[in-house]
């Protein structure tokens, strides 16, 4: 069960919230790895996962634990693998990474990535006529391909909730040592992005693996202008969104209007 370091009344609140969403709290366990911090994990029905996430997120300031969703045990192992080789002084690493992230002017860093895409008609594309806002976390869905090559999406049966010891949700990249490979930004730049979009759009980390991030967003863009500006930011942050995804920045922008879920993936 939850560790003794958590006040009994807070522990009880967490367990009560999990029970509301049909979670078997007897399966809530300390992650059994050589980690510098205490993480707890519990399986939850996929259909209850988003509701459980919101309930646990509401207790974050009191509990000190931020919930994220992870698809499988193997992806959980991969996500925490860098922490099994943790520094001798992990607290110092966390402080240094958070401090570095806070010195990064994220909008200015984005602008320095490459020339303004507004000068590239092919990259910008056209505003989509059939864009729809996203409200469902992609990683709750499983892509199926039938014998004739037709695609369909089905909801997973079960995922994991990982409780992460965090003072602020935007500290997550430092805690998990996210990124720093190929075109994926390092942890300090991820932290700068998380804080910038948390402050501006209420974007909160929700579903994670090593190369896929999803956010639940409380203040999404509502106009074409706002969405286009955000799409350019997201393109600079994660080129694969366009290069291996929707194909153009305006296509991405159209899908960001009123969307309460954001998805990022790095190859």
pLDDT value at 253 more than 80: yes
Domain of 124 in residue numbering reads as: 8-265
Return the SS3 of 264: strand
66 near 166, Cβ under 8 Å?
yes
Whether residue 256 lies inside any domain: the answer is yes
C-alpha 189/C-alpha 97 separation (Å) is 9
Residue 68 Cα distances to 42, 54, 57, 160, angstroms: 11, 10, 9, 8
pLDDT band at residue 146, thresholds of 50, 70 and 90? low
pLDDT score for 147: 63
Give the alpha-carbon dihedral of 256, 257, 260, 262, to 10 degrees.
10
Q: Convert 28-51 into a string of H (helix), E (strand) and C (coil).
A: CEECCCCCCCCCEEEEEEHHHHHH
Whether residue 1 lies inside any domain: the answer is no
13 near 38, Cβ under 8 Å?
no
**What tokens does 179 get?**
């990124």
pLDDT score for 112: 86
**pTM for this one?**
0.92
C-alpha 118/C-alpha 51 separation (Å) is 39
C-alpha 238/C-alpha 254 separation (Å) is 17
| Closest to 79 measured CA to CA, from 170, 187, 212, 198 | 212
- How do residues 93-138 score in pLDDT, each as one tens digit? 999 999 999 999 999 998 887 788 888 999 999 999 898 999 999 9
pLDDT score for 6: 62
pLDDT score for 205: 98
Number of domains in the chain: 1
Which are the contacts of 154, defined by CB distance < 8 A and separation ≥ 6?
Answer: 141, 142, 144
Whether residue 255 lies inside any domain: the answer is yes
pLDDT score for 177: 94
pLDDT band at residue 12, thresholds of 50, 70 and 90? confident
């Amino acid at each position: 069960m939850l560790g003794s370091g958590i006040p009994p009344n807070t522990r009880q609140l967490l367990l009560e919230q999990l029970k509301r969403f049909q979670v078997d709290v007897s399966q809530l366990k300390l992650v059994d790895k050589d980690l510098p911090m205490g993480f707890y994990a519990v399986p939850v029905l996929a259909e209850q996962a988003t509701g459980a996430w919101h309930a646990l997120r509401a207790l974050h300031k009191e509990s000190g634990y931020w919930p994220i969703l992870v698809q499988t045990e193997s992806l959980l192992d991969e996500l925490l693998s860098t922490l099994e080789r943790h520094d001798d002084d992990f607290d110092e690493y966390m402080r240094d990474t958070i401090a570095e992230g806070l010195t990064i002017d994220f909008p200015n860093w984005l602008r320095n990535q490459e020339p303004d895409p507004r000068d590239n008609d092919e990259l910008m594309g056209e505003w989509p006529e059939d864009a729809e806002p996203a409200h469902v976390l992609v990683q709750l869905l499983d892509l199926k391909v039938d014998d004739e090559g037709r695609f369909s999406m089905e909801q997973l049966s079960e995922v994991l909730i990982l409780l992460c010891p965090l003072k602020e949700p935007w500290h997550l990249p430092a805690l998990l040592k996210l990124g720093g490979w190929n075109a994926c930004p390092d942890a300090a730049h991820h932290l700068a992005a998380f804080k910038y979009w948390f402050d501006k759009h209420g974007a909160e980390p929700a579903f994670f693996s090593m190369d896929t991030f999803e956010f639940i967003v409380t203040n999404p863009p509502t106009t074409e202008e706002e969405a286009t500006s955000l799409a350019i930011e997201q393109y600079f942050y994660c080129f694969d969104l366009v290069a291996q995804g929707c194909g153009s920045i305006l296509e991405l922008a159209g899908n960001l209007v009123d969307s309460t879920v954001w998805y990022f993936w790095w190859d």
